[in-house]
C-alpha cells in the first residue's frame, strides 16, 4: 500500500492507494486485462462506432418486420399483401414521431436512462417502475428474437442445420456475452465492420431491386416456400390490418437504446448521441420501406423454412450466388449483433434501477472491464432460457415483443410533455435541479409539449392495438410479466428503504459499554485446531464454556480425558444426543444461554475449523461454522466466528 495523502486535522484518517495488481488468469485471457477507473473516459465511443453499437437492433428489425406483416396478412390470402406497403408507410411515420421525441430526451437528459429517468422525474415512482420493467422485458426479448432470426437466416441458406437451430442460438448468445464483457469500446470496434457491411449489402439489394423493378426485369420468387395452410380465409378487416400493423411495429424496437446509453458516447455526448439517432432512424425508414415494397412485388411468401429476406435476395441477385450468400451472411451477422444493443442497454438500465433500489444493488457495480458485467450475464442467461422454451422460433417470440417498448415510448413521451409544461411555468432565470436533469424555462415549450403529447397519444394507441391483437398469440404473458416485475421492484425497494431507516444514525443513541462477554466453544474432538480456538476464546473472555454433543457414548471418556489434560481448567459441557443429532442439541443449548443473556452481554460462538491443504477437501468436512452462522444470523447479541487452523 502506498500512502498518497494524510489528513493532519484528523490523524485517524489516511488515504492510501492499493499497490495490488490483478494477476493473469483465464478471465484475463477471455475478457481482457482489468481496467482502472481512470480509464473510463477512454472507453467512450464516437458516432461511427455508436451507430454499430446502439443501432444494430433497430436496423436488424428490417430483416423480419416485413415478414411479420406478411405472416398476418396471409390469413386473407396473398391478395392482401398489397396492404403491406401502406402499413409500412404508417409505421415509418410513427418512427419519425418517436425519433423526434427521443432526440429531445437525449438533450434534456444527458446522463442517460431514457424512458425510466423521464418517467421518474416527471410522472412518479410507479410509472418509472413500469417503464423500467417494460424496457428490461424488451431488451431480453430483443436478444432472443434477434439471435433466433439470425439463425433462421442461416437455416434458410443451409436447411440441414434446422434441427440444430436451438443449440446454435444458445452458443451465439453466450458468444455475445463474452464479447460484451470485454467492454463497450472493444465490442463496438469489433462490430463496426459487420454493421456497415450489412448496410452496404442491404442498400445494394434495395437499389438493384428498384432498378430492376422500374426496368421491368425484377421477376418473381422462383420456387417459393409452400404457403402456410389456412383452413378458412379471412376477409380483409380492420382487425386484420391492425394486427399486421402491430406486428410490423417491431421495426421500431431499439430506437430508445441510444437515449439509455448516452454516457457511452464521447463529449459532447448529447450532440453525438442525437446525430447518431437521426442517422439510425433515416437508414431504418428507407430500408424498411424498400424491403417491404420489393418483397410484395416479387411475391415473397412468409415461412419458417425460408425467410422473406432470403427470397428477396435470391430473386434480386439472380439465384443463390455469391451476392446472395453475402446478403444472407450480412443479415445473419446484423441480427446476431442486434443483441449487442441489449447487451449495452440492459446492464445500464438495470444499474440505474439498482442505484435507485428497485433491483439488487450489485447490478450497479462495474466489472473489471468497466462494464456492468452482472447485468450482461443475467441478460444472457434469461435470453437462453427463452430461446430454449420457444425453440428459437421468431414467430413464437414476436407476440411477446414490442408491447413493452411501446409502453415505454408512451411513458417517455408523456413524461416529456409534462416536463415542457413544468418548464413553461418557470421564469426566465429560474433553475430547478431534478434527479436526472436541470430544468429551465425554454422558449417554444408549447410546440415541444404538443409534439410529445401527440406522440404519447399515437404510441398509446399502438400499445392498445398490440395488446388486443396479439393477446391470444402470447401478449398476455407480457401483460402479466410487467406487473410482476413492478411488484418485485416494490418489494426490493421496500427492503432497501426499511434497511436504510434501521441503519440510519439520525436517531442513534450510543449503547452502553459491554459489561460481560461469554464465549461458547463447540468441539467435536480435542486436537491442535481445538486448542488454537481455545486460546483465541480465552483472549476474548475469562468466561469460556466448551460444548461437546455426544453421539457416540464410547468417545466421551476419551474426549474427557484429553480435555482434562489440555484445557487448563476450562469447563466442558457434554450434551447427550440419543437421536444422534448434532446441530439441534447445540442450538437448543445456545438458545438457553441466550435466554439468560444480560442487557449488556454478548455471546460469542467460537468454532474451531481446520483448513485442508487442498481446496476441494473442504467438501469432506462438516462446515459447522457456516451452518451455525446461518442458524443464528437473526438472533441479537450472538456473534459466530470461526478460528481456522491451516493443516499443512
Residue 249: which of 414, 452, 467, 472 has the closest Cα?
Answer: 467
Per the CB < 8 A criterion, the answer to whether 40 and 264 are in contact is: no
Per the CB < 8 A criterion, the answer to whether 252 and 94 are in contact is: yes
Query: CA 637 to CA 629: how far, in whole Å?
Result: 13
pLDDT for the residue numbered 544? 93
Question: How distant, in Å, are the alpha carbons of 17, 177, 337 from that of 332?
Answer: 47, 17, 9
Determine if residue 568 is left, alpha or beta; phi over 0 gives left, psi from -120 to 50 gives alpha, anything else beta: left
For the purposes of burial, counting CB atoms within 10 Å of the CB of 130, is it exposed (0-12), middle (13-18) or buried (19 or more)?
buried
- DSSP letters, 50-94, are HHHHHSHHHHHGGGTHHHHHHHHHGGG-GGGGGGHHHHHHHHHHH
3-state secondary structure of 223: coil
User: Structural domain boundaries of the chain?
Assistant: 43-494, 516-646
Residue positions counted in the chain: 648
Per the CB < 8 A criterion, the answer to whether 608 and 533 are in contact is: yes
Looking at the chain, the number of H-run helices and the number of E-run strands are 23, 9
CB atoms within 10 A of CB 124: 11
Residue 358: which of 477, 488, 499, 252 has the closest Cα?
Answer: 488
Query: CA 259 to CA 329: how far, in whole Å?
Result: 29
- DSSP letters, 226-282, are PPPP-SSPPP--HHHHHHHHHHHGGGGTTTTHHHHTGGGBPSSHHHHHHHHHHHHHH
Q: Give the global pTM.
A: 0.72
| Cα angle for residues 191, 389, 128 (degrees, 5° grid) | 65
Question: How distant, in Å, are the alpha carbons of 88, 468, 608, 631, 642 from that of 527?
Answer: 80, 72, 10, 26, 15
Query: CA 40 to CA 393: how far, in whole Å?
Result: 39
Q: List helix spans (H) across 358-434.
A: 373-389, 394-397, 403-424
pLDDT for the residue numbered 625? 65
3-state secondary structure of 586: helix
Mean pLDDT split into 10-residue runs, the chain, 648 residues: 50 61 59 52 72 80 86 84 92 90 86 84 92 88 83 81 89 87 65 84 93 90 74 73 85 81 82 91 93 91 84 89 90 79 84 90 74 87 90 73 80 91 87 83 87 88 81 76 92 88 73 74 87 92 90 84 89 85 85 84 86 70 70 80 80
3-state secondary structure of 4: strand
| Long-range pairs, 69-74, Cβ under 8 A, ≥24 | 69/244, 69/245, 69/247, 69/248, 69/292, 70/295, 70/300, 70/301, 70/302, 70/308, 71/247, 71/302, 71/395, 72/240, 72/243, 72/244, 72/247, 73/240, 73/244, 74/227, 74/228, 74/230, 74/301, 74/302
Taking the CA atoms of residue 307, residue 309, residue 312 and residue 315 in that order, the dihedral angle to the nearest 10 degrees is -70
Helix (H) / strand (E) containing 592 = helix 583-595
Look-up of cell digits 391492425: 242
43-494 and 516-646, same CATH topology: no
CATH of domain 516-646: 3.40.50.620
Residue 393 grid cell: 422460433
Beta bridge partners of 646: 611
Query: Domain 43-494, CATH 2.60.120.10 — does that match?
Result: no
Question: How distant, in Å, are the alpha carbons of 125, 396, 478 from that of 474?
Answer: 28, 8, 8
Residue 387 grid cell: 430461446
Query: CA 606 to CA 628: how far, in whole Å?
Result: 10
Dihedrals φ, ψ of 610, to 5°? -95, 140
Residue 253 grid cell: 424496437
Query: CA 410 to CA 404: how far, in whole Å?
Result: 10
Residue 40: which of 343, 371, 365 has the closest Cα?
Answer: 371
Amino acid at each position: 500500500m502506498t500512502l498518497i495523502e494524510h489528513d493532519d486535522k484528523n490523524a485517524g484518517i489516511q488515504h492510501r492507494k492499493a499497490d495490488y495488481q490483478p494477476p493473469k488468469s483465464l478471465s484475463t485471457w477471455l475478457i481482457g486485462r482489468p481496467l482502472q477507473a481512470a480509464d473510463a473516459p477512454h472507453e467512450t465511443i464516437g458516432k461511427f462506432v455508436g451507430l454499430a453499437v446502439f443501432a444494430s437492433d433497430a436496423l436488424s428489425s428490417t430483416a423480419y418486420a416485413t415478414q411479420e406483416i406478411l405472416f398476418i396478412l396471409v390469413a386473407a390470402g396473398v391478395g392482401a399483401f398489397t396492404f403491406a406497403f401502406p402499413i409500412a408507410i404508417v409505421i415509418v411515420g410513427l418512427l419519425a414521431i418517436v425519433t423526434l421525441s427521443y432526440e429531445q430526451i437525449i438533450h434534456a437528459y444527458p446522463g442517460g436512462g431514457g424512458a425510466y429517468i423521464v418517467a421518474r422525474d416527471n410522472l412518479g415512482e410507479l410509472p418509472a417502475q413500469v417503464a423500467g420493467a417494460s424496457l428490461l422485458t424488451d431488451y431480453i426479448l430483443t436478444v432472443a428474437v434477434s439471435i433466433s432470426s439470425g439463425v433462421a437466416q442461416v437455416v434458410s441458406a443451409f436447411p440441414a442445420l434446422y434441427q440444430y437451430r436451438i443449440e446454435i442460438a444458445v452458443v451465439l448468445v453466450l458468444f455475445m456475452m463474452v464479447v460484451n464483457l470485454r467492454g463497450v469500446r472493444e465490442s463496438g470496434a469489433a462490430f463496426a465492420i459487420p454493421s456497415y457491411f450489412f448496410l452496404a449489402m442491404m442498400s445494394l439489394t434495395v437499389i438493384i431491386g428498384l432498378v430492376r423493378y422500374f426496368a421491368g426485369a425484377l421477376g418473381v420468387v422462383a420456387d417459393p416456400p409452400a404457403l402456410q395452410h389456412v383452413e378458412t380465409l379471412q376477409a380483409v378487416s380492420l382487425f386484420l390490418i391492425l394486427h399486421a400493423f402491430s406486428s410490423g411495429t417491431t421495426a421500431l424496437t431499439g430506437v430508445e437504446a441510444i437515449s439509455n446509453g448516452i454516457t457511452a458516447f464521447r463529449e459532447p455526448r448529447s450532440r453525438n448521441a442525437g446525430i447518431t439517432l437521426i442517422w439510425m432512424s433515416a437508414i431504418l425508414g428507407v430500408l424498411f420501406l424498400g424491403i417491404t415494397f420489393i418483397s410484395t412485388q416479387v411475391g415473397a411468401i412468409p415461412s419458417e423454412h425460408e425467410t422473406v429476406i432470403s427470397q428477396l435476395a435470391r430473386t434480386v441477385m439472380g439465384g443463390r450466388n455469391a451476392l446472395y450468400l453475402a446478403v444472407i451472411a450480412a443479415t445473419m451477422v446484423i441480427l446476431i449483433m442486434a443483441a449487442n444493443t441489449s447487451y449495452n442497454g440492459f446492464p445500464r438500465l438495470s444499474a440505474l434501477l439498482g442505484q435507485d433500489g428497485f433491483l439488487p444493488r450489485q447490478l450497479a457495480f462495474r466489472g473489471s472491464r468497466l462494464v456492468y458485467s452482472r447485468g450482461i450475464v443475467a441478460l444472457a442467461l434469461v435470453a437462453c432460457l427463452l430461446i430454449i422454451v420457444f425453440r428459437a422460433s421468431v414467430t413464437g417470440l414476436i407476440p411477446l415483443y414490442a408491447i413493452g417498448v411501446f409502453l415505454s415510448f408512451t411513458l417517455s413521451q408523456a413524461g416529456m410533455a409534462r416536463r415542457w409544461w413544468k418548464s413553461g411555468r418557470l421564469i426566465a432565470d429560474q433553475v430547478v435541479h431534478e434527479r436526472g436533469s436541470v430544468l429551465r424555462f425554454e422558449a417554444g415549450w408549447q410546440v415541444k409539449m404538443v409534439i410529445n403529447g401527440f406522440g404519447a397519444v399515437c404510441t398509446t394507441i399502438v400499445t392498445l392495438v398490440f395488446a388486443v391483437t396479439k393477446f391470444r398469440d402470447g401478449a398476455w404473458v407480457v401483460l402479466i410479466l410487467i406487473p410482476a416485475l413492478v411488484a418485485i421492484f416494490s418489494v426490493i425497494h421496500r427492503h432497501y428503504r426499511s434497511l436504510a431507516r434501521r441503519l440510519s444514525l439520525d436517531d442513534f443513541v450510543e449503547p452502553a459499554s459491554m459489561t460481560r462477554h461469554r464465549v461458547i466453544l463447540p468441539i467435536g474432538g480435542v486436537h491442535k485446531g481445538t486448542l488454537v480456538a481455545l486460546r483465541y476464546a480465552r483472549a476474548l473472555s475469562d468466561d469460556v464454556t466448551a460444548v461437546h454433543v455426544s453421539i457416540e457414548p464410547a468417545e466421551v471418556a476419551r474426549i474427557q480425558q484429553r480435555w482434562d489434560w489440555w484445557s487448563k481448567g476450562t469447563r466442558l459441557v457434554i450434551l447427550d444426543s440419543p437421536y444422534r443429532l448434532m446441530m439441534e442439541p447445540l442450538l437448543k443449548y445456545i438458545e438457553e444461554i441466550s435466554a439468560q443473556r444480560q442487557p449488556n452481554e454478548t455471546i460469542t460462538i467460537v468454532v474451531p475449523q481446520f483448513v485442508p491443504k487442498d481446496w476441494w477437501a473442504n467438501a469432506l468436512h462438516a462446515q459447522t461454522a457456516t451452518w451455525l452462522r446461518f442458524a443464528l444470523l437473526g438472533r441479537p447479541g450472538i456473534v459466530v466466528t470461526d478460528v481456522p487452523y491451516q493443516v499443512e
